[in-house]
Amino acid sequence: MSTTAVPPRTSNPRKILVLGATSGIAEATCRIWAAEGAHLFLVARNAEKLAAVASDLRTRGAAFVDTAVADLDDTDSHHALLTHAVNSLAGMDVAYLAHGILGDQPAAEQDFNTAAQILHTNLTAPVSLLTWLSNYCVPRHTGTLAILSSVAGDRGRKSNYVYGSSKAGLSAFVSGLRNRIDREGVTVLTIKPGPTRTAMTAANPKSAKYADPDKVAKSIAAAIAAEKDQIYVPFIWQPIMFIIRNIPERIFKKLNL
């Protein structure tokens, strides 16, 4: 006989801001937090998808769900958006940055504007958000900033080096931010997923074999709760990327990766 474990509802629900809440990985993570009775503020650019996610999370037990429709590329709007979000939540325990684009690598090789768009969405916009969020958390000496980077940032490969370089920049920024503000009582978590089955990878013929977003989300929620610094999800990507990072360049440049 099997039983289904029901996560405990805490007496002090966490206040969680989710940027890019319609992301497959973010949605799966929010389902875990909703079952715990969390308070959620969800930001996404597609109003219809956002309303569906919010409604689902209310059904699953979230004690409070508010939303804002925003294109996170618009860095000028970040100050007002984030101020509104923390006011709506009446505080913030966790900010989860999940938005991102894979982009079109072959197009980006030919056209700088395509490459610049990938760098803007995946690096410049998160830097803007994290600057505001860290300035909110540091004077309060509390909070967790959890950021979805990628294993792709660990080494540039010919198949996706524009996306990879945006995530490499993001990982480096987040590492430096952690080095600065961990001592102020703010936890900064770098999340490096391997290939995961979401809308981002749906066009890849191998995507059926990619990691299950619910399992990835479980590891992310556990890492946030444990106040970890960095995780690879699934864990196997940690030794894989250790090997990939250490392949000598004279060999690496000849590989088809």
Ligand X SMILES: NC(=O)c1ccc[n+]([C@@H]2O[C@H](COP(=O)([O-])OP(=O)(O)OC[C@H]3O[C@@H](n4cnc5c(N)ncnc54)[C@H](OP(=O)(O)O)[C@@H]3O)[C@@H](O)[C@H]2O)c1
- Nearer to ligand X by Cβ, of 37 and 42: the residue is 42
The binder of ligand X chosen from 196, 224, 232, 241 (CB under 6 A): 196
Distance CA 157, CA 163 (A): 10
Contact between 29 and ligand X per CB under 6 A: no
- The counts of H helices and E strands in the chain are 10, 7
Q: In the chain, at which residue ranges do the beta strands (DSSP E only) sit?
A: 15-19, 39-44, 64-69, 94-97, 144-148, 187-193, 230-233
Residue 101 CB, nearest approach to ligand X (Å): 5
Assigned token pair, 154:
């660990």
The binder of ligand X chosen from 48, 71, 182, 227 (CB under 6 A): 71
Contact between 101 and ligand X per CB under 6 A: yes
| Phi, psi dihedrals of residue 163, rounded to the nearest 5° | -55, -45
Return the range that interacts with ligand X (CB under 6 A); candidates 107-115, 130-138, 189-197, 235-243. Answer: 189-197
Contact between 193 and ligand X per CB under 6 A: yes
The binder of ligand X chosen from 15, 16, 18, 24 (CB under 6 A): 24
| Paired residues of 71 in beta bridges | none
User: For residue 31, what are the CA distances in angstroms to 57, 135, 160, 246, 257?
Assistant: 6, 28, 30, 37, 34
Contact between 46 and ligand X per CB under 6 A: yes
| Paired residues of 43 in beta bridges | 19, 68
Residue ranges in 129-188 that form contacts with ligand X under rule CB under 6 A: 148, 150
- Nearer to ligand X by Cβ, of 37 and 67: the residue is 67
User: For residue 147, what are the CA distances in angstroms to 96, 229, 238?
Assistant: 6, 10, 17
Residue 205 CB, nearest approach to ligand X (Å): 14
Name the active-site residue from 96, 136, 161, 163: 163
Contact between 105 and ligand X per CB under 6 A: no
Task: Give yes or no: 210 in active site.
Answer: no
**Catalytic residue IDs:** 163
